[in-house]
Chain A
Amino acid sequence: MAIDTLPESSLPVTRPFRVKFGFLTSTPIIAVATICLVLIILMAIFAPLLAPHDPLLLTPAQRLKPASAQYLLGTDAYGRDLLSRIIYGARISLIIGIGAAVCSIAVGLLIGLVAGFFRWVDAVLMRVMDGLMAIPAILLAIAVVSLSGASIWTVMVAITIPEIPRVARLVRSVVLTAREEPYVEAAISLGSSLPKIMWRHLMPNTIAPLIVQGTYVCASAILTEAILSFLGAGISPETPTWGNIMAEGRAFFQIKPSLIFWPGLLLSIAILSINLIGDAARDALDPRMKQREGK
């Protein structure tokens, strides 16, 4: 009987479930968001080439100048070039956003895998996570920063910690469903070691949701950093970050609103772009969303 024939051997050997990035240009809005984000990233990377002035250079004679050919966006209260400070500020924002996303995913993945697989540590770990989630992220971050002194690294840690429970919960829920799959049970009966089962059979299931979660963490980390700086609990005020620029600009809002406007605009564009890309990634990676569109 020829019912059970093999598909032709000319079939390409494809890797299933490989993350494809075609979704980045799926709709005009997503494409615009992608372009904006790429521009901001390029701006951060090439900041020394792009910035017309030293962002830290104080020129007291040029305080609060309006936009001119020399200072394209004007100067701040200490006579520093606003444009240069904003360009350099993108570096801090992106380092903290991406760093917090990577760190919280790394730690959360580990905690989630362990909690999802071992029932006896599950209860303990998840109660700790619940406790962490009960504290508002900003308060926790302020507490961590004020305990350890402000630097870009402590701020990153302070922002990472409150994000970990969300990632851990997500990974745990994926692992809880995946571990019931027969191929995981087959691996157990094949005598595979626990780390091997986790790494090879459980972890790959978490990649797609983690990419999506990572974009949200990234966006909220950038925002949290700006809030911390704005509140004066973040990185030292002379360092150019979008939050710091806005915090200093607050006092002069009446006479020079552009001090808040430009960094605020860039912050909004960055966060909106990352969130839009995250939504697109979720739609592209979640098979249920595809079904809904009837694809």
Chain B
Amino acid sequence: MTTANPSNVVLDINNLVVGLGRKADAHRIIDDLSLQVHEGETLCLVGESGSGKSVTSLTVMGLQQKGTLVPSGGSVKLVGEELLTATDRRLRQLRATRMAMIFQEPMTALNPVVPVGRQIDEVLRAHTDLDSRARRQKILAMMEHVRLPDVERIFSSYPHRLSGGQRQRIMIAMALVLEPKLLIADEPTTALDVTTQKQILALIRDLQRDHGTAVLFITHDMGVVAEIADRVAVMRHGRLVEAGPLQDVLRNPKMDYTRNLLSSVPSLVPRAPRPETSEPVVLEANELSKVYRERSLYGKAREVAAASNVTLTLRKGRTLGIVGESGSGKSTVARCIVRLIDPTSGGVRLAGREISDLSRRLLQPHRQKIQIIFQDPYRSLNPRVTVGESIAEGPINYGMPRKDALVRARELLELVHLPPDAISRYPHQFSGGQRQRIAIARALALDPDVLVADEAVSALDVSVQAQVLDLLDEIQRRLGIALLFITHDLRVAAQICDDVAVMQRGRVVEQGPAAEVLTNPQQAYTRALLEAAPGRGWDFANFRPVSEGIVATA
């Protein structure tokens, strides 16, 4: 960790104001923000969606939407040079040579029709006088430096041939090939699996140590902050809430907002297990498999098993979590169980009745017993239908008169803590968390026995996430509903699940009570997942490292 020394300030933001539009009274997206990033230091900029952290980074790079986002005050200095008044030409020179940026989604940040080697080459051609052989040498060396395997092959590969982690490594190579003083990383690991995320974080840290780069790291994930930050700056509504060294902020947050933010982070330590119940089994999956066949005109059909021999049991009033990385088949299982897709083999028993082989028509009466909530609250509600109509749709389908269904919709809105007058509004008038509440109300309208939540809180900010998780917990206690909770986030799983099934490549590798699986994993894969969980050493809600907590309670 470097000490703050005014002589080696790389990025110096002073009283920055960014307004929406040119007018003097324009709404301020960034309001009076001051930050410093020093050589060799990682400053983590944290905040929830809409806090202005991405606008800050774009303004530094001069990439903000011109005419819409207007820096109207303050200064941004890069190694002493003012950026806000710099010409476009000068900014272009500075990008890549002095400052560089990596983005969240490496697939969209790379050009899909140009080999990745040539994309890095473009940076060198624009900013150096090296001949083609020297450039190639430099690129290959850089690619080895970011620990890409088989660099000659990857040099001439197109982005879609590479994995998400490899693409992000290419982005990092491209950003750092000219050894800029400042690296801005905007949520660079958010789209990656935890095991890949761990590697990328380690890579950024190592490169920074070797080159003394200053890193401005933007993230919403407190776990990542605990892994990588030297100093932390918390933003809210475009203002700086609190800034300080990592340990100070995590241990002694001074502001209430920071305190709330930290206490909303679910703990990796599983909650106290609920007593075993002898309630009836409401949902059983028996050796459920889903195989996708790719037929080709000649040659053999290629088969991909998205799920194979998945067996699950869920009792009334309990929560079963399915955890795993992307592509592990957890969503496939959920969709087979709800019969949005048809399983290839195996059975699903809902309240003792086999439903996996029922036709559409015969399935109809059983549909109401199992409902699903989706990940993206912005797409799971029809934007052209009022909230009330959305919630009432299910009951009306099962014969309830329209008037009664709308009365029921009002009651459900109250159950999910939304005002009943929300009934006549449209989804776009609500925030993400509120929409997810509406989606929950819609699912509950049919009095289902089982509620399937497919990454239902993954798209939400932590504080909202905590509220929605509380709501699900409350509903479960009041209605005795069984929850099938699909998530990639072990922290969430630890806080809400009674039992956990860990999936990898379509198979359940480990299954058991959450307290056992998450504290004493038997399988190597589960262990790897747990170890990769960022910030697992910190107990954020109690403002101390986990190890101290164990000592304190022992």
Chain A 75-91 interface mask (CB, 8 Å, partner B; 1/0): 00000000000000000
Q: CA of A7 to CA of B433 in the docked complex: distance in angstroms? A: 13
**Alpha-carbon distance between A17 and B383 when the two chains are bound, in angstroms:** 8
Residues of chain A from 270 to 295 with CB closer than 8 A to chain B in the complex = 294
Tell me if B385 is interfacial: C-beta within 8 Å of chain A.
yes
Q: For window 360-391 of chain B, which residues contact chain A by CB distance below 8 Å? A: 364, 367-368, 370-372, 374-376, 379-385
Question: Is A20 on the interface with B (CB-CB < 8 A)?
Answer: no
Q: Is B434 in contact with A1, judged by CB distance below 8 angstroms?
A: no
User: Please, how many angstroms separate the alpha-carbon atoms of A259 and B398 in the complex?
Assistant: 66
Stretch at the interface among A26-34, A135-143, A158-166, A189-197: A189-197
10 chain-A/chain-B pairs, Cβ below 8 angstroms: A1-B467, A11-B429, A13-B425, A181-B379, A183-B379, A183-B380, A183-B382, A192-B394, A200-B382, A200-B385
A186 engages B364 (CB within 8 Å): no
Q: A1-B260, A183-B381, A189-B371 are in contact. Are A16 and B67 (CB under 8 A)?
A: no
Q: Which of B419-444 contact A (CB under 8 A)?
A: 419, 421-422, 424-426, 428-431, 433-434, 439, 442
A185 to B370, CA, bound (A): 13
- Cross-chain contact B65 with A294 (CB below 8 angstroms): yes
Q: Does B68 contact A (CB under 8 A)?
A: yes
Given contact pairs A1-B463, A6-B434, A182 touches B393 in the complex (Cβ within 8 A): no
- Taking CB atoms, residues of chain A closer than 8 Å to B372 are 185-186, 189
**Contact between A204 and B384 (Cβ–Cβ < 8 Å)?**
yes
A residues near B371, Cβ cutoff 8 Å: 189-190
Please measure, in the bound complex, the distance between the C-alpha atom of A38 and the C-alpha atom of B421, giving whole angstroms.
43
Closest to A204 in B: B384
Could you say which of A3, A15, A187, A191 contacts B464, with CB atoms under 8 Å apart? A3
* Chain A residues, CB < 8 A from B48: 3
CB B371 to nearest CB in A, in angstroms, measures 6
Q: Which residues of B contact A17 (CB under 8 A)?
A: 383-384
B442 touches A186 (CB 8 A): yes
Q: How far is the CA of A168 from the CA of B374 in the complex (A)?
A: 30
A9 to B420, CA, bound (A): 11
Q: Does A256 sit within 8 A of B, measured CB to CB?
A: no
16 other A-B residue contacts (CB within 8 Å) besides A14-B426, A186-B439: A1-B264, A3-B461, A4-B433, A6-B419, A11-B425, A15-B384, A16-B384, A182-B374, A182-B375, A182-B380, A189-B370, A190-B393, A191-B364, A191-B394, A294-B65, A294-B67
From residue 160 to 186 of chain A, which have CB atoms closer than 8 A to chain B?
181-183, 185-186
Say yes or no for A201: interface residue by CB 8 A criterion.
yes
Question: A188 interface residue, CB < 8 Å from B?
Answer: yes
- List residues of chain A with CB within 8 A of the CB of B339: 189
- Could you tell me which residues of chain A, from 193 to 234, have a CB within 8 Å of some CB in chain B? 193, 196, 200-201, 204
Q: Tell me whether A190 and B446 are in contact (CB under 8 A).
A: yes
Assess whether A193 is in contact with B397, with CB atoms less than 8 Å apart: yes
- For A18-48 the 0/1 string (1 means CB < 8 A from B) is 0000000000000000000000000000000
Q: Is B338 an interface residue (CB 8 A)?
A: yes
Provide the bound-state CA to CA distance between A73 and B473, in Å: 82
Cβ-neighbour of A190 out of B394, B428, B461 (below 8 A): B394
Q: Are A189 and B419 in contact (CB under 8 A)?
A: no
Which of chain B's residues have a CB closer than 8 A to the CB of A188? 340
Closest 6 CB pairs of A and B: A190-B394, A182-B380, A182-B374, A191-B367, A183-B382, A191-B397
Residues on A lying within 8 angstroms of B by beta carbon are 1, 3-4, 6-7, 9, 11, 13-17, 181-183, 185-193, 196, 200-201, 204, 294
A4 and B465 alpha carbons, distance in the complex (Å):
10
Q: In the complex, what's the smallest C-beta–C-beta distance from B231 to chain A, in angstroms?
A: 24
Of the residues B419, B426, B431, B461, contact of A15 by C-beta under 8 Å = B426
A294 to B425, CA, bound (A): 28
Residues of A within 8 Å of B415, CB to CB, are none
Q: Is the CB of A6 within 8 A of B368?
A: no
Residues of A within 8 A of B380 (CB): 182-183, 186
0 or 1 for each of B32-60: is its CB under 8 Å from A? (1 = yes): 00000000000000001000000000000
On whether the beta carbons of A182 and B67 are closer than 8 Å, the reply is no
- Once bound together, how far apart are the Cα atoms of A190 and B338, in whole Å? 10
Q: Nearest residue in A to B467 (C-beta to C-beta)?
A: A4
Provided the pairs A191-B394, A192-B397, A294-B67 are in contact, do residues A13 and B426 lie with their beta carbons within 8 angstroms? Answer: yes
Among B67, B339, B340, B375, the most chain A Cβ lie within 10 Å of the Cβ of B340
Cα distance, A7 to B418, chains bound together (Å): 11
Across the interface, which residues of A come within 8 angstroms of B394, CB to CB? Answer: 190-192
Cβ distance A295 to chain B, nearest Cβ, rounded Å: 9
Chain B contacts of A204 at CB under 8 A? 384
Can you list, as one digit per residue, whether each of B342-374 has a CB less than 8 Å from chain A (1) or not (0)?
Answer: 000000000000000000000010011011101
Determine the distance from Cα of A3 to Cα of B397 in the docked complex, in whole angstroms.
35
Most chain B beta-carbon contacts within 10 A, residue among A14, A191, A196: A191
Shortest distance in angstroms between B331's beta carbon and chain A's nearest beta carbon?
11
Contact (Cβ within 8 A) B464 A4: yes
Known A3-B463, A183-B381, A294-B67: A190·B426 in contact at CB below 8 Å:
no
A170 to chain B, nearest CB (A): 19
Min Cβ gap A60→B in Å is: 62
Nearest A residue (CB) for B436: A4
- What chain A residues lie within 8 Å of B384 (beta carbons)? 15-17, 204
Given A11-B429, A191-B394, also A182-B379 (CB < 8 A): yes
Measured CA separation A7–B427 after assembly (Å): 12
Which B residues are in CB contact (< 8 Å) with A196?
397
| Residues of the A chain whose Cβ atoms lie less than 8 Å from the Cβ of B68 | 294
- Check A189 against B439 for contact (C-beta < 8 Å): no
User: Given that A204-B384, A294-B65 are known contacts, is A7 also in contact with B364, CB under 8 Å in the complex?
Assistant: no
Bound complex: CA A4 to CA B457 (Å):
14
Closest to A193 in B: B397
Nearest-neighbor residue (CB-CB) of A185 within chain B = B340
B463 engages A189 (CB within 8 Å) = no
Tell me the smallest distance from the CB of A202 to a CB of chain B, in Å.
10
Within the complex, the shortest CB–CB distance from A9 to chain B, in Å, comes to 6
Minimum CB–CB distance for B372 against chain A, Å:
5
Closest beta carbon of chain B to A199's beta carbon, Å: 12
Contacts of A1 in B (CB 8 A): 260, 264, 463, 467
| Residues of the B chain whose Cβ atoms lie less than 8 Å from the Cβ of A201 | 382, 385
Alpha-carbon distance A193/B48, docked complex (angstroms)? 39
Q: Chain B's nearest CB lies how many Å from the CB of A234?
A: 41
Shortest CB distance B549–A (Å): 24
Question: Which chain B residue has the least Cβ–Cβ distance from A11?
Answer: B429
Give B52 Cβ to nearest chain A Cβ, in Å. Answer: 15
Report the bound CA distance from A25 to B372 in whole Å.
46
- Give the docked Cα–Cα distance between A200 and B260 (Å): 41
Chain B residue, CB-CB nearest to A15:
B426
What's the Cα separation between A187 and B392 when bound, in Å? 11
Q: B422 near A4 (CB under 8 angstroms)?
A: no
Which of chain A's residues have a CB closer than 8 A to the CB of B383? Answer: 16-17
